[in-house]
């Protein structure tokens, strides 16, 4: 069963998400936090598998809370939730170690599916969020000058896989696009994680953007 911690400064939101999560037999809520600092403390106490993290909270915002949690607990997956599809915190949250980013107004079944996805170690980016990332990086005049991991050690095929991951494609979609077997794509992704010292798929997306690989799109 997937253990979930909910962090949101609105009691009604915490309550609604709590009821929703507890209705799913695959998961249960182990704690709720009203701000980022409390979320950090409760993660230390409960070691949840997934944290539903609001971006904008008092005392400690969701980005800094995520940074502290992922630095101290490598197995905890953080799924960021926001009301704004153009939230300026999107990139910072993913760089801080968040595994996914969804809008609060998505259908309940999609939120539950998102928890399962990030618990399994995959990244989850809402289409609107992916578009926001692309817009942010393509408008930068010299994206490759920002801090990024070098892609020099990647093979041509690994670069192709990374490019498609950066566009938001799943492993299945990458396999179809490159005419590869699904296990082969999974192997390429594992090698990319190792070579780029990335925590998860979301950080591969960030690496693709920061390296300038998608700058011409």
The series of mean pLDDT values per 10 residues for the chain, 217 residues long, is: 96 94 96 96 96 90 93 92 68 80 86 88 64 59 49 91 84 90 91 86 79 68
Round to whole Å and give the CA distance between 120 and 133.
Answer: 23
Parts of the chain belonging to CATH 3.40.50.2300: 2-134
Give the architecture (CATH level 2) of 2-134: 3-Layer(aba) Sandwich (3.40)
Closest by Cα among 41, 217, 195, 100 to 207: 195
What integer pLDDT is reported at residue 87 of this predicted model? Answer: 54
pLDDT of amino acid 131? 59
pTM for the whole structure = 0.71
Q: Which fold has domain 142-210?
A: Arc Repressor Mutant, subunit A (1.10.10)
Domain with CATH 1.10.10.10 in the chain: 142-210
53: Cβ–Cβ under 8 A, 6 or more apart, which residues?
7, 39, 62, 65, 66, 78, 79, 80, 81, 98
Half-sphere CA count of 90, side-chain side, radius 13 A? 26
């Amino acid at each position: 069963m997937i253990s979930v911690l909910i962090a949101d400064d609105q009691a009604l939101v915490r309550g609604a998400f709590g009821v929703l999560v507890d209705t799913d037999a695959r998961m249960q809520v182990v704690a709720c936090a009203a701000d980022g600092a409390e979320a950090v403390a409760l993660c230390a106490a409960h070691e949840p598998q997934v944290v539903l993290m609001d971006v904008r909270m008092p005392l400690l915002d969701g980005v800094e809370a995520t940074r502290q949690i992922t630095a101290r607990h490598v197995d905890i997956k953080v799924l960021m939730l926001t009301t704004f599809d153009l939230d300026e915190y999107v990139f910072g949250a993913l760089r801080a170690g968040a595994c996914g980013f969804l809008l609060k107004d998505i259908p309940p079944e999609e939120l539950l599916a998102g928890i399962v996805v990030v618990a399994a170690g995959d990244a989850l980016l809402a289409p609107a969020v992916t578009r926001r990332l692309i817009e942010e990086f393509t408008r930068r005049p010299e994206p490759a000058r920002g801090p990024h991991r070098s892609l020099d050690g990647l093979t041509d095929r690994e670069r192709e896989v990374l490019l498609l991951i950066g566009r938001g494609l799943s492993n299945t979609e990458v396999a179809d696009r490159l005419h590869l077997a699904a296990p082969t794509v999974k192997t390429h992704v594992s090698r990319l994680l190792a070579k780029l010292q990335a925590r998860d798929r979301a950080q591969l997306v960030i690496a693709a953007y920061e390296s300038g690989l998608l700058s011409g799109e």
